[in-house]
Chain A
Amino acid sequence: MLLQDAPAETFNYMAFGYSVILSIMGLYVLSLRSRFRNLERDKELLDELSAKAEPSIENSSDATR
């Protein structure tokens, strides 16, 4: 196909390719990380809210579960 003595100079494309590969992987890991953090925050919020709701649970007779 290519009649050359030396291989083609394609270093830049390799660098581009690997940057894309590693970026996509990295972005996904980051997205997982941030979703975990949001989850933690939601959990804390729920803990707070249910702590506040606790006293009223004891007062009300029907616990709709």
Chain B
Amino acid sequence: MEPVPRNLKILTGITIVLFLTALYMVFIYAPREAIMGDVQRVFYFHVAAGWVGALAFLVTAIAGGVYLAKREPKWDRLAESSVEIGVVFTLINISSGSIWARPIWNTWWTWDPRLVTATIMLLLYFAYLMLRQGIEDPDRRARFGSVYGIAAFISVPVTFLSIRLFRTIHPVVIGSSDPAAEGAFDMTARMVQALMFSVLTFTFVYATLLRYRIRLGRGTEEVEKRKMELISL
């Protein structure tokens, strides 16, 4: 395995520092919310994770497009790696959203458009991975992955709009006075800073994990190639 390049080590270091700082900000720097109490602090990482999930999906779609244009394997590797990380962060987004909802609205699930869209995004990612898994030829796998990555990404905003429209006509959440707002609370300046910092931190986490995952992908490809060579001897 090629040694970890210096800039990746530095990036990892920066990310860790940012992460620890973010933890300080959400637990100590940011004030306790007046109505919801401590559970509101989950919001910072919940939103940041949602942002990363969407970003990861965007990266996959764009990388897929570039692959279709250029046919260089590194773009497909980027797309595939990004999806995996996107799944992780979308899971974090959904579960933290659910846990946040529980004490506030006394329900584990709210049919909030953002939460539902995140779930559908998760299903789209899974479908993407299943599609890739079912195809043996690497070139076709990359091509189909790219196609589905693009189509799936385009469907997300349309889906979000349709659910939003559905919700404005049918407020469904029981016990919530304002179905459109995801936990309506007023944000003080410190809260906004904590949120912004969390988003920044998570973006760094995404970038770091992505680079490691791409390395893993490269290494796996090399090993597969060598296996093939060895078998053909």
Direct A/B contact, Cβ within 8 angstroms: yes
Smallest Cβ-Cβ distance to A15: which chain B residue: B38
Give A26 to B167 CA distance when docked, in angstroms. Answer: 35
> At the interface, is chain B mostly helix, strand, loop or mixed?
helix
Task: Tell whether A10 pairs with B232 under 8 Å between CB atoms, given A17-B96, A28-B88, A32-B212.
Answer: no
Smallest Cβ-Cβ distance to B48: which chain A residue: A21
- Choice from B42, B92, B95, B209 contacting A14 with Cβ under 8 Å: B42
Give A49 to B181 CA distance when docked, in angstroms. Answer: 61
On whether the beta carbons of B88 and A11 are closer than 8 Å, the reply is no
Distance (whole angstroms) from the CB of B129 to the closest CB of chain A = 14
Task: Tell whether A7 pairs with B223 under 8 Å between CB atoms, given A20-B99, A25-B92, A32-B212.
Answer: no
Q: Does B49 contact A (CB under 8 A)?
A: yes
Give A9 to B42 CA distance when docked, in angstroms. Answer: 14
On whether the beta carbons of A36 and B216 are closer than 8 Å, the reply is yes
On whether the beta carbons of A7 and B35 are closer than 8 Å, the reply is yes
On whether the beta carbons of A50 and B1 are closer than 8 Å, the reply is no
On whether the beta carbons of A14 and B38 are closer than 8 Å, the reply is yes
Contact with A along B14-50 (1 / 0, CB 8 A): 0000000000000000001111111111100110010
Task: Tell whether A17 pairs with B212 under 8 Å between CB atoms, given A1-B35, A65-B232.
Answer: no
5 tightest Cβ-Cβ pairs between the two chains A and B: A10-B39, A17-B42, A7-B37, A10-B37, A14-B38
